[in-house]
């Protein structure tokens, strides 16, 4: 992966990035619990940007290892964890959201689905609403999630979900929200991208994810990313309704 140069985001605006999601954001033992984060950080630093990750979670062995990746969590549970951690009070100016894998995968351990996978896009919309309620000036990059190669049904579910994710991003952008899409659906097209479970990336898969995030960030209009605000003193009362998920 060779760094390119941002042509849209001003170089002197420090990026305060919230990596948000599940175990794919957190990383696993397969990759040293680093996820895509160090590879994306290297790309951003190489293009001349100041970068700091934020999050209530810490994992991995790289320099900047904060994140908000909650392993095994469904979309609504991620929202509950974010509300509990109050990390959005730290006012990131960029949010990287990769969520939905476990909603598509909710019966892989032999139990019935906890939430209908068909309505996962609605839960995703609620999580996005919560992010913008607490961080109205943030730019949110929404992932079309990585492929699921655990079984044919999981693969098909992800394809359907990703089509809806794209629609969500387009609709939000049309309404004036600062939402862009990052297409990660190709991660998993090569068997070497994923571990034996067919769900979690290996290092090569995470390198591809970093590149996808980086390319999406190059499309951020300059006016979208502003100096990150100081941390807010507490949760807005108008955002409290999001605390328990959908």
Q: Report the domain count for the chain.
A: 1
- For residue 237, being part of any structural domain is answered with no
Residue 5, pLDDT score: 43
Q: How far apart are CA 124 and CA 99, in angstroms?
A: 8
- For residue 4, being part of any structural domain is answered with no
Range from 94-103, 113-122, 225-234 that averages highest in pLDDT: 94-103
Residue appearing with tokens 């949010």: 95
Has residue 157 got a pLDDT over 50? yes
- For residue 125, being part of any structural domain is answered with yes
- For residue 193, being part of any structural domain is answered with yes
- For residue 39, being part of any structural domain is answered with yes
Helix ranges (DSSP H) in the chain = 23-26, 37-46, 75-85, 101-104, 120-134, 152-174, 203-217
Q: Cβ of 22: how many Cβ atoms within 10 Å? A: 26
- Token pair in block for residue 210: 């970093």
Q: How far apart are CA 217 and CA 220, in angstroms?
A: 5
Please tell me which residue, 219 or 8, carries the higher pLDDT value.
Answer: 219
Q: What is the pLDDT of residues 161-209, one digit of tens each?
A: 999 999 999 999 999 999 999 999 999 999 999 999 999 999 999 999 9
Per the prediction, the chain carries an average pLDDT of: 90
CATH number, position 53: 3.40.50.1110
Has residue 75 got a pLDDT over 90? yes
Q: How far apart are CA 18 and CA 211, in angstroms?
A: 17
Lowest mean pLDDT segment, chosen from 114-118, 193-197, 213-217: 114-118
- Token pair in block for residue 174: 């049309």
Residue 11, helix vs strand vs coil: coil
C-alpha angle with apex 85: 82 to 88, nearest 5 degrees? Answer: 60
Has residue 116 got a pLDDT over 90? no
Residue 16, helix vs strand vs coil: strand
Residue 226, pLDDT score: 87
Which residue segment(s) compose the domain that 76 sits in? 15-226
- For residue 122, being part of any structural domain is answered with yes
Using CB atoms within 10 A of its CB, is residue 234 exposed (0-12), middle (13-18) or buried (19+)?
A: exposed
Give the phi and the psi of residue 217 in degrees, each rounded to 5.
Answer: -70, -25
Choose among 34, 17, 18: nearest CA to 82: 18
| In contact, 28 and 238? CB cutoff 8 Å | no
| In contact, 154 and 109? CB cutoff 8 Å | no
- For residue 115, being part of any structural domain is answered with yes
Average pLDDT over residues 8-29: 88
- Token pair in block for residue 138: 């943030």
Residue 111, pLDDT score: 52
- For residue 154, being part of any structural domain is answered with yes
Residue 3, pLDDT score: 41
- Token pair in block for residue 27: 């990383």
């Amino acid at each position: 992966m060779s760094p390119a140069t941002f042509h849209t985001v001003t170089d002197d605006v420090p990026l305060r990035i919230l990596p948000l999601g599940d175990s794919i954001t957190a990383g696993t033992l397969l990759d040293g619990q680093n996820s895509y984060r160090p590879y994306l950080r290297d790309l951003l630093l190489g293009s001349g940007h100041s970068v700091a990750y934020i999050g209530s979670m810490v994992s991995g062995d790289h320099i900047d290892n904060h994140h908000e990746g909650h392993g095994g969590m469904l979309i609504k549970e991620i929202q509950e964890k974010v509300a509990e951690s109050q990390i959005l009070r730290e006012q990131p100016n960029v949010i990287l959201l990769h969520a939905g894998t476990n909603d598509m995968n909710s019966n892989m351990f032999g139990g019935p689905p906890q939430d209908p996978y068909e309505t996962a896009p609605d839960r995703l919309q609620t999580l996005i609403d919560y992010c913008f309620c607490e961080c109205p000036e943030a730019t949110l990059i929404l992932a079309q999630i990585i492929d699921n190669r655990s079984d044919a049904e999981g693969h098909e579910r992800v394809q359907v979900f990703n089509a809806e994710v794209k629609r969500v991003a387009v609709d939000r952008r049309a309404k004036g929200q600062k939402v862009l899409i990052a297409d990660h659906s190709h991660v998993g097209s090569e068997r070497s991208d994923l571990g034996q479970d067919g769900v979690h990336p290996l290092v090569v898969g995470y390198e591809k994810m970093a590149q996808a995030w980086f390319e999406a960030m190059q499309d951020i209009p300059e006016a979208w990313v502003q100096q990150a605000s100081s941390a807010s003193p507490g949760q807005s009362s108008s955002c409290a309704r999001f605390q328990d998920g959908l």
